[in-house]
């Protein structure tokens, strides 16, 4: 990443769904990625790029190319296992871009070409390695080439990347939160890939005048004086960061009462979503929101907030219902919990 | 707008753009190749700051050329990595020119977009991992002929100005600021607003500068009134106004600058006329130029503070004056096509393939299952590893070793075919109304499908539901057979028939082919989805299904098999956005033509 100033997350106007989804994924990475689909110029990329500056730093084994976590030796890479001494240092959480046009060798990693020219065999980790324990961002995910999509699906499912090249066999952890954004008008996403995303949000251009004015005003302020603008928002930014840290700490302490489990199940049944993943993700996302709000247990209010982003992309297509997915979810939510 | 006015506007846009290409993102020029466009480009090149890089990006340039990659020859010679810059990073700090921009494919557009947004190219290719600066502005040359053919909207959204030179004739460009070919480096210094803002520009007034907050409010408000949805447009307008002010030696934009910016940036993007304007004088953009000189003078003559409404009004009027006169007609045609071309609805949408089509590049993979090896790319892929391989103990006496990892196979982009879904009404009423003839019609269409290498699928509906008789197949013989064996009789479950056809078409679309549904029915619906009789409910359900079908954007054709054209069938066809063909009037040629038309 360059040192170019990034528009602060805290200063992003509106887009509450998307911001919430990203915070939820940051609090509980196990939820499995965020898909942001929507209009042009709605700040999808801005929001995601703002994430890197927001995330609290993490602890890593010094020098590890996969940022192994000192606290979880059972999922260390081979290098960390082999090493006798470990020193724990803090490092920023990686938010890695997977650009269109990337070749496979750079995604999964390959032999270091530079060294190979002089006859040495050294593994050069790819983007998947870089994204371990962080976020992998694919802008225009619907335009990604099929063979790369297949690769990603495989790794995302196993949490591990295996590379066999030139008689070299490398296996390293690759657990990352997949974040995709795109414009559905330019091509649909394969159902298998959609399924990998725990949360999906539809992003729209704000339609009310005051919001639009505020968007332009802040954008203009940022462009005129990026440093001053970032400084101005630092406090807000720190506040959100603290909320993430606090929420992570509470994650295991928040209770999920029987009634919440039951309501989640009933909601999924009412919408006819396939499989148990929806239900599980619904509960986990609701729990993350409860942590974010500082609540002690998961309530219907939490479920209601996350239901559209968890279930919207898991609905079976109903050809008779023209309504957009989120409307259908909201309708079901209202039937279940009352308006 | 006359040709001369369009040319004047184009030059104004050019003048602003040339002053700050990077800040304004780009400029799209709709014009055929020819002297008008050439002249415009010439003026642009002459007006750009000296030394600014300009790169022409060929249509759909490959990734290695566009983004950059490894310079293999240099790398092997030097013994260390040598990168080759792509066009985007070569153009850093300057302008890329995109000829035939209306034909840019989504993938290329996305790469341009990324560079334009980030000001850099993230290169993750051929063992290289680099971030290269690529601050670029785009000049898109749009040669689109019909309204559907245009530069990808996502790119247009990142360009401040969209200008149209299609109506400009050579006579129009015999303009007084065109003095000769050897134009000075800065031939276009615009003395305030001119033709675009109406007569007001003739008098050069020193209007009071407007404070930023007010400008932003005005720009957002006007965007809203004109239905300019993009959030980038106000930013561009703001930037354009500031440049216009700077060119006139002011530090902050005044009303004229704002009017100019709004006319140039919002004019081509407007999707509606402001409500009050529409009520008073619907299509006429004529009045503003005459009114305009009157309202502004009081404002700036007797105070520094410009009251709320007037500023927005003045600016709005400027924009309205710049609207194309046929805006309303355009809007009407837009809303008509909206439901249809939303998604891959067209025939022969592009699909990646490893077997046939137009070659578009290579990727790592094995030459099996029909994939073809690209020999040169394979050798190139193997080249850098030779030093290493020679040292390996298993290395034989070979001089050049190629391994499986090196295999590169050719990727093709294939035009994918169409699958026609026939949904045939086999109910009693239809049977009476010449089911046989309908079958005959389908056979004719089948023959036609065969010529076009289309696939066909067959659904029949009668009694209480719809039945898939034939899954999508290329075998027209099978289609013919299953059609011949189709019995008739029973009530008409029209809604179920439409639903089944729609579900099948959706599956076909997901598999990458383009579906077209052809209904053959007399549309005498009398069976509901639940399997109970009753015409009113059955018809209501059929309408509901028809609307759902329209929403999917799948192309459809409804052949009315009634003895006399059934008005309900026509209504139904309209609801589903389908073409309507009454069979009594349809001969084989007409039917075949109709299907083809539905596919287009």
pLDDT tens for residues B250-276? Answer: 888 888 888 889 889 988 888 877 765
The whole-number average pLDDT for the span B56-66 is 85
pLDDT band (50, 70, 90) for residue A336: confident
Closest CA to A167 of A124, A126, A123: A123
* B-proximal residues of A, 196-255, CB under 8 Å: 205-206, 209, 212-213, 215-217, 219-220
Assess whether pLDDT exceeds 50 at residue A215.
yes
The whole-number average pLDDT for the span A204-231 is 91
Task: State whether ipTM is beyond 0.90.
Answer: no
Contact predicate A229/A11, CB 8 Å: yes
Contact predicate A333/A307, CB 8 Å: yes
For the record, the structure tokens of B143 come out as 């040669």
Please state, in angstroms and rounded to a whole number, the distance separating the CA atoms of residues B308 and B520.
60
Among the listed ranges B23-37, B42-56, B443-457, B460-474, which one has the minimum average pLDDT value? B443-457
| B79 part of contact set with chain A, CB < 8 Å | yes
Residue of chain B minimizing CA distance to A138: B114
Q: Which of A53-57, A238-242, B69-73, B581-585 has the highest mean pLDDT?
A: A238-242
* A-proximal residues of B, 336-355, CB under 8 Å: 342-344, 352
Q: Which of A41-50, A267-276, B234-243, B331-340 has the highest mean pLDDT?
A: B234-243
Task: Output the pLDDT for position B564.
Answer: 79
Please state, in angstroms and rounded to a whole number, the distance separating the CA atoms of residues A173 and A167.
20
Beta carbons of A187 and B502 less than 8 Å apart: no
pLDDT band (50, 70, 90) for residue B183: very low
Number of A/B CB contacts below 8 angstroms equals: 172
Task: Output the pLDDT for position B396.
Answer: 66
| B401 part of contact set with chain A, CB < 8 Å | no
* B-proximal residues of A, 118-177, CB under 8 Å: 118-121, 124, 126-127, 139-140, 143, 145-147, 165-167
pLDDT band (50, 70, 90) for residue B34: confident
The whole-number average pLDDT for the span A16-32 is 91
Task: Output the pLDDT for position B441.
Answer: 72
Task: Output the pLDDT for position B25.
Answer: 93
Task: Output the pLDDT for position A246.
Answer: 92
Beta carbons of A113 and B120 less than 8 Å apart: no
Q: How far is B233 from chain A (nearest CA, A)?
A: 10
For the record, the structure tokens of A231 come out as 């400084």
Beta carbons of B230 and A216 less than 8 Å apart: no
Give the residue with greater pLDDT, B290 vs B551: B551
Sketch out chain A's domains with CATH numbers.
Answer: 9-57+92-203 (3.40.50.300), 251-337 (1.10.8.80)
Task: Output the pLDDT for position B277.
Answer: 43
Rounded to two decimals, the pTM is 0.73
CB-count burial class (<10 Å; 0-12, 13-18, 19+) for A215: buried
Closest CA to B459 of B510, B432, B419: B419
| A193 part of contact set with chain B, CB < 8 Å | no
Assess whether pLDDT exceeds 80 at residue B246.
yes
Assess whether pLDDT exceeds 70 at residue B121.
yes
Task: Output the pLDDT for position B292.
Answer: 39
| B208 part of contact set with chain A, CB < 8 Å | no
Sketch out chain B's domains with CATH numbers.
Answer: 1-188 (3.40.50.300), 206-338 (no CATH), 350-415 (no CATH), 418-599 (3.40.50.410)
Give the residue with greater pLDDT, A117 vs B260: B260
The whole-number average pLDDT for the span A283-299 is 93
Please state, in angstroms and rounded to a whole number, the distance separating the CA atoms of residues B581 and B144.
31
Task: Output the pLDDT for position B205.
Answer: 39
Assess whether pLDDT exceeds 70 at residue B592.
no
Task: Identify the DSSP state of A255.
Answer: B
Assess whether pLDDT exceeds 60 at residue B278.
no
Residue of chain A minimizing CA distance to B393: A167
Please state, in angstroms and rounded to a whole number, the distance separating the CA atoms of residues A38 and A204.
6
| B373 part of contact set with chain A, CB < 8 Å | no
Out of B231, B387, B499, closest to residue A205 by CB: B231
| B241 part of contact set with chain A, CB < 8 Å | no
Task: Output the pLDDT for position B48.
Answer: 92
| B20-to-A42, B28, B116, B485 alpha-carbon distances in Å | 24, 15, 14, 71
Please state, in angstroms and rounded to a whole number, the distance separating the CA atoms of residues A17 and A15.
6
Out of A2, A100, A220, closest to residue B216 by CB: A220
Task: Give the pLDDT confidence of B307-340 residue by residue, as tens digits.
Answer: 445 677 777 776 666 665 555 444 444 333 333 3
The whole-number average pLDDT for the span A52-66 is 90
Interface mutation target, options A40, A44, A127, A180, chain B, most CBs of B under 10 Å: A40
Contact predicate A222/B379, CB 8 Å: no
| B80 part of contact set with chain A, CB < 8 Å | yes
Task: Give the pLDDT confidence of B412-425 residue by residue, as tens digits.
Answer: 766 567 888 889 88
Task: Output the pLDDT for position A217.
Answer: 92
Give the residue with greater pLDDT, A157 vs A33: A33
Closest CA to A179 of A215, A152, A145, A150: A152
Contact predicate B70/B125, CB 8 Å: yes
Residue of chain B minimizing CA distance to A139: B114
| B127 part of contact set with chain A, CB < 8 Å | yes
Q: How far is A167 from chain B (nearest CA, A)?
A: 10
Mean pLDDT of chain B: 76
Task: Output the pLDDT for position B498.
Answer: 92
pLDDT band (50, 70, 90) for residue B158: very high
């Amino acid at each position: 990443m360059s040192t170019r100033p990034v528009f602060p997350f805290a200063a992003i106007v509106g887009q509450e769904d998307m911001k919430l989804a990203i915070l939820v994924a940051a609090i509980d990475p196990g939820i499995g990625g965020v898909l942001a689909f929507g209009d042009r110029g709605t700040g999808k990329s801005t929001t995601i790029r703002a994430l890197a500056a927001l995330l609290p730093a993490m602890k890593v084994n010094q020098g590890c190319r996969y940022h192994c976590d000192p606290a979880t030796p059972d999922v260390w890479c081979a290098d960390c296992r082999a090493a006798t001494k470990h020193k724990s240092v803090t490092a920023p959480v990686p938010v890695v871009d997977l650009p269109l046009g990337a070749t496979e060798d750079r995604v999964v990693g390959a032999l270091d070409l530079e060294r190979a020219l002089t006859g040495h065999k050294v593994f050069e980790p790819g983007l998947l390695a870089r994204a371990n324990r962080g976020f992998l961002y694919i802008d225009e995910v619907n335009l990604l080439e099929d063979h790369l999509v297949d690769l990603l699906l495989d790794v995302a499912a196993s949490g591990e990347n295996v590379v066999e090249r030139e008689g070299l066999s490398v296996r390293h952890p690759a657990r990352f939160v997949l974040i995709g954004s795109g414009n559905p008008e330019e091509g649909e996403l394969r159902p298998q890939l959609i399924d990998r995303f725990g949360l999906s949000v539809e992003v729209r251009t704000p339609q009310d005048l005051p919001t639009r004015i505020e968007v332009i005003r802040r954008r203009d302020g940022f462009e005129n004086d990026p440093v001053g603008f970032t400084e101005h928002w630092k406090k807000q930014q720190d506040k959100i960061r603290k909320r993430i840290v606090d929420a992570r700490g509470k994650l295991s302490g928040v209770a999920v009462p029987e009634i919440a489990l039951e309501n989640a199940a009933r909601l999924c049944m009412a919408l006819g979503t396939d499989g148990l993943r929806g239900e599980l993700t619904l509960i986990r996302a609701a729990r993350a929101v409860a942590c974010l709000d500082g609540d002690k247990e998961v309530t219907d209010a939490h479920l209601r907030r996350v239901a559209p982003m968890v279930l919207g992309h898991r609905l079976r297509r109903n050809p008779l219902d023209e309504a957009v997915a989120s409307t259908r979810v909201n309708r079901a939510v209202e039937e279940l919990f009352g308006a | 707008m006359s040709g001369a006015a369009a040319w004047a506007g184009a030059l104004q846009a050019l003048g602003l753009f040339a002053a700050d290409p990077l800040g304004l993102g780009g400029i799209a020029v709709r014009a055929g190749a020819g002297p008008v466009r050439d002249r415009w480009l010439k003026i642009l090149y002459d007006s750009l700051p000296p030394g600014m890089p300009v790169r022409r990006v060929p249509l759909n340039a490959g990734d290695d050329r566009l983004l950059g990659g490894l310079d293999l020859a240099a790398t092997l010679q030097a013994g260390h990595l040598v990168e080759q810059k792509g066009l985007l990073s070569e153009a850093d700090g300057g302008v890329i020119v995109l000829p035939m921009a209306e034909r840019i494919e989504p993938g290329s557009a996305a790469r341009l977009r990324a560079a334009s947004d980030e000001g850099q190219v993230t290169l993750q290719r051929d063992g290289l991992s680099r971030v290269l600066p690529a601050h670029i502005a785009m000049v898109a040359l749009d040669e689109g002929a019909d309204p559907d053919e245009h530069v990808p909207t996502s790119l247009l959204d990142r360009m401040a100005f969209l200008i149209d030179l299609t109506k400009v004739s050579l006579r129009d460009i015999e303009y007084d600021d065109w003095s000769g070919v050897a134009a000075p480096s800065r031939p276009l210094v615009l003395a305030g607003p001119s033709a675009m803002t109406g007569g007001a520009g003739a008098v050069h007034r020193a209007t009071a500068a407007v404070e930023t907050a007010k400008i932003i409010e005005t720009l957002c408000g006007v965007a809203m009134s004109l239905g300019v949805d993009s959030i980038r447009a106000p930013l561009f307008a703001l930037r354009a106004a500031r440049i216009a002010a700077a060119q006139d030696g002011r530090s902050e934009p005044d009303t004229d600058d704002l009017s100019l910016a709004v006319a140039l940036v919002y004019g081509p993007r407007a999707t509606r006329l402001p409500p009050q304007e529409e009520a008073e004088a619907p299509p006429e953009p004529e009045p503003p130029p005459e009114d305009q000189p009157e309202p502004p003078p009081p404002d700036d003559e007797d105070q520094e503070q410009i009251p709320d409404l007037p500023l927005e009004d003045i600016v709005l009027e400027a924009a309205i004056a710049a609207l194309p006169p046929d805006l309303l007609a355009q809007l009407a045609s837009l809303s008509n096509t909206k439901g249809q071309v939303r998604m891959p609805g067209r025939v022969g949408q592009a699909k990646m393939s490893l077997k046939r089509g137009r070659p578009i590049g290579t990727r790592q993979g094995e030459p099996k299952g029909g994939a073809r090896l690209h020999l040169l790319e394979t050798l190139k892929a193997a080249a850098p590893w030779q030093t290493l391989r020679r040292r390996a103990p298993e290395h034989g006496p070979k001089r050049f070793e190629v391994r499986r990892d090196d295999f590169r196979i050719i990727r093709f982009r294939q035009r994918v075919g169409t699958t026609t879904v026939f949904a045939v009404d086999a109910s009693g009423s239809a049977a009476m109304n010449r089911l046989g003839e309908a079958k005959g019609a389908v056979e004719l269409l089948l023959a036609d499908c065969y010529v076009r290498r289309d696939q066909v699928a067959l659904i029949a509906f009668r009694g209480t539901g719809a039945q898939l008789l034939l899954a999508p197949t290329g075998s027209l013989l099978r289609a013919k057979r299953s059609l011949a064996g189709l019995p008739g009789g029973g009530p008409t479950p029209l809604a179920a028939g439409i639903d089944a056809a729609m579900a099948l078409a959706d599956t076909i679309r997901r598999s990458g082919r383009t579906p077209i549904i052809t209904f053959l029915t007399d549309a005498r619906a009398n069976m509901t989805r639940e399997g109970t009789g009753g015409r009113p409910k059955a018809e209501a359900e059929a309408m509901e299904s028809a609307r759902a079908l329209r929403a999917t954007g799948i192309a459809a054709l409804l052949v009315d098999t009634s003895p006399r054209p059934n008005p309900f069938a026509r209504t139904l066809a309209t609801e589903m956005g389908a073409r309507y063909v009454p069979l009594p009037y349809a001969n084989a040629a007409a039917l075949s033509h109709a299907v083809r038309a539905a596919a287009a």
